[in-house]
Amino acid sequence: MTHPMTQLQDLSRSLRLAETAKELPSLIRKAEAHQWTYHELLYELLTYEQACREEKLITKLLKWARFPFQKTLDEFNIKEQRSISTKQLKQLRELLWMEEQYNLILLGPPGVGKTHIAIGLGLEAIYKGHQVSFIPMGELVHLLKTKEFSRKSQTSYKRIVDSDMVIIDDMMYMAMDSKEANLFFHLINELYDKTSIILTSNKGPDQWGELLGDQGITTAILDRLLHRVEVINIDEPSYRMKNRTTIFN
């Protein structure tokens, strides 16, 4: 018994195979032209739907991540750095540390590639189906202070705490008051032992106490961040300054 194509497409949509429904006429024509077996046709239908769903998921995860730019680890010029080796970068991109809920702290002056590495690792995680959130420290403090009354901040906060990887950029570039430090502690506590955190900073953990003000809160934050952590100190001249262009001939 032959069913009209529109009926087959409606059935596909009712089974939530939306992409297959759109592509079904083309796939049927290919099956007839190449004399596919039933098994081959079924395989093509299912793999097409799966590929479309994976592409949609990655698009959604990239949107949620809110990266300021997208640069992969392959674009990172490892030759410009002596602080991190090709082997170490390869180990980082395997994300085994993430599966064990390790944190990563990237230290160094501005322009050495800390944010590039962090985003590159975030992209690797997204391509493997993980949810990632990127947020500069200044924006994070504002979000924490407004989440009680702002629907937008509440949505962003929930997305952060639901993430598998959270990247906090420019950690401790500015001092916090006691309320801000307390809010930050509660976020770290909520992420602790279930989310991998990547921090970029030009100040080491030994200097964070001066900016957080409250020694008790500083100790509690460091206790959770440093429980399982890898610290990479990129002590190099600024890559941006070395490779800057000039308007003069």
Q: Residues of 188-207 as b/e, b for ≥16 C-beta within 10 angstroms? A: beebbeebbbbbbbbeebee
For the segment 204-209, the average pLDDT, to the nearest whole number, is 80
**Cα atoms in the 13 Å half-sphere on the side-chain side of 141:** 17
Please tell me whether residue 133 adopts helix, strand or coil conformation.
strand
The model's pLDDT over 110-134, given as tens digits with 9 standing for 90+, comes to: 888 999 999 999 999 999 999 999 9
Please state the pTM of the whole predicted model: 0.82
d(CA 116, CA 219): 29
Q: What are the residue ranges spanned by the domains of the chain?
A: 5-64, 73-242
pLDDT at 191 over 80: yes
Residue that is written with structure tokens 């089974």 in the block: 15
Q: What is the pLDDT of residue 147?
A: 92
pLDDT at 243 over 70: no
d(CA 146, CA 179): 12
d(CA 4, CA 217): 67
For the segment 3-32, the average pLDDT, to the nearest whole number, is 85
pLDDT at 3 over 50: yes
Class of the domain covering 73-242: alpha beta
Q: Go through the chain and tell me how many residues it has.
A: 249
Rounded to a whole number of angstroms, the CA Rg of the chain reads: 24
Q: What is the pLDDT of residue 238?
A: 46
For the segment 30-36, the average pLDDT, to the nearest whole number, is 90
The model's pLDDT over 50-109, given as tens digits with 9 standing for 90+, comes to: 888 899 999 999 999 999 999 999 998 887 777 788 899 999 999 999 988 899 999 998
Phi, psi angle pair for 231, to nearest 5°: -105, 125
pLDDT at 239 over 50: no
pLDDT at 246 over 60: no
DSSP labels, 96-127: HHHHTT-EEEEE-STTSSHHHHHHHHHHHHHH
Q: Are the C-beta atoms of 137 and 174 separated by less than 8 Å?
A: yes
